[in-house]
Structure 1
Amino acid sequence: MRTVYRVLAYLLALEVVVQAAAMVYAVAGLGRWIDNGGVADKATLENDDQAFSEAVGFIAHGINGSMVVPAIVLLLLIVSFFARIPRGSWWALGLLLLVALQAELGFLGHSTPLLGLLHGINALAVFTVALVTARRAKTPKPVPAEPVADRAEV
């Protein structure tokens, strides 16, 4: 279970990278599309027909952030109860809270752009805590037994 815990924590850190990459891909594509004469408005962005191919990054970011990432962190919390890692459940719970905050900041960022800024900063916190959590789950190296000194009876 310790290995499953560690893999899930590393996977969560990887998901933060995927999230950032998906967003940058979409925003860069949007910028190029606008430079080529496209007009971005609410109707364009909410239309089922993608105006530019990179818009798939917005979709991937939304699905990944609202379903995949929460599923991984919930699995991590469940596994933490069986992994026997010192304070492992607390680290997993901390990640769950950070991910919940991340989702809320993402949803609220649509109406309050300043919260979108916090969404990016919190993503770095999720990434860092996920890496620390994974590293804490490493199997401890066995401590070599010290030789017992021969006792001479006096």
Structure 2
Amino acid sequence: MRSVYRVLAFVVAAEVVVQAAAIAFAVYGLGKWVDDGGRLDKALLAREDSAVGGAAGFAVHGANGTMLVPLVALVLLVVSFFAGVPGGVRWAGVVFALVVVQAALGFLGQGVPALGALHGANALVLFGVAVMAGKRVGSTTVPEQLGATRG
């Protein structure tokens, strides 16, 4: 169970990297598309067959961020109760809370674009906390793993 915990924590961190890559691809693709003469408006975005550059990046970022990342964070939290990682439940809880905040910032940022800065900053914090959660598994000694105290 400890290795499942570790893998899930690192998967959350890897998903943050996927999210960053997807949104960067989307924005750079959109920028090139506009530079090449494309015109972006709400009607074009509503069409499913639009040829907007980077559209796949927006789709990956949206789907991954609303479904896959929260699911992995939730499974990490559940596994943390059984993994026996010292402080593991707390770290998994923080990861899950950061994912909830991240999703909220993503949705609210569509109405308040300034929240995009917090969305990006929170992603960096989420990445760091997920990595730390994963590293916690390997940072304990055998007696600590068995619940023994040092004397």
Q: Does the alignment reach a TM-score above 0.5?
A: yes
The equivalent residue for 1:96 is 96
Matched AA of 2:135 = R
Check whether the contact 1:2–1:139 (CA below 8 A) recurs between aligned residues: no
For structure 2, list consecutive stretches of 5 or more residues without a partner in the other structure: 144-151
Shift of 1:142: 4.5
Q: Is it true that 1:38 corresponds to 2:51 in the alignment?
A: no
Residues 49-88 of structure 1: pairs in structure 2 closer than 5 A: 49-88=49-88
For structure 1, list consecutive stretches of 5 or more residues without a partner in the other structure: 144-154
**1:84-135: CA deviations, max 9, x gaps?**
0111111111111100000000001001011111000000010000000000
CA distance in 1, matches of 2:81, 2:94: 14
**Which sits farther off after the overlay, 36-45 or 60-69?**
36-45
CA distance in 2, matches of 1:48, 1:83: 44
Distance of aligned partners of 1:67 and 1:58 in 2 relative to their CA distance in 1, 3 Å threshold: same
The equivalent residue for 1:152 is none
TM-score (norm 1): 0.89
CA distance in 2, matches of 1:121, 1:43: 31
Residues 1-150 of structure 1: pairs in structure 2 closer than 5 A: 1-138=1-138, 140-142=140-142
The equivalent residue for 1:148 is none
SS of aligned partner of 2:138: coil
**Shift >4 Å, 4+ stretches:** none
CA distance in 1, matches of 2:90, 2:142: 24
Highest CA radius of gyration, 1 or 2?
1
Shift of 1:83: 0.4
Distance of aligned partners of 1:142 and 1:88 in 2 relative to their CA distance in 1, 3 Å threshold: closer
SS of aligned partner of 1:106: helix
Matched AA of 2:119 = H
SS of aligned partner of 2:39: coil
Matched AA of 1:99 = V
RMSD over equivalenced CA pairs, Å: 1.3
**1:57-101: CA deviations, max 9, x gaps?**
101100000000000000000100000011111111111110000
CA distance in 2, matches of 1:74, 1:142: 28
CA distance in 1, matches of 2:52, 2:115: 26
Shift of 1:46: 2.3
Distance of aligned partners of 1:142 and 1:85 in 2 relative to their CA distance in 1, 3 Å threshold: closer
Q: Percent identity?
A: 53
Count of residues in correspondence between the two structures: 143
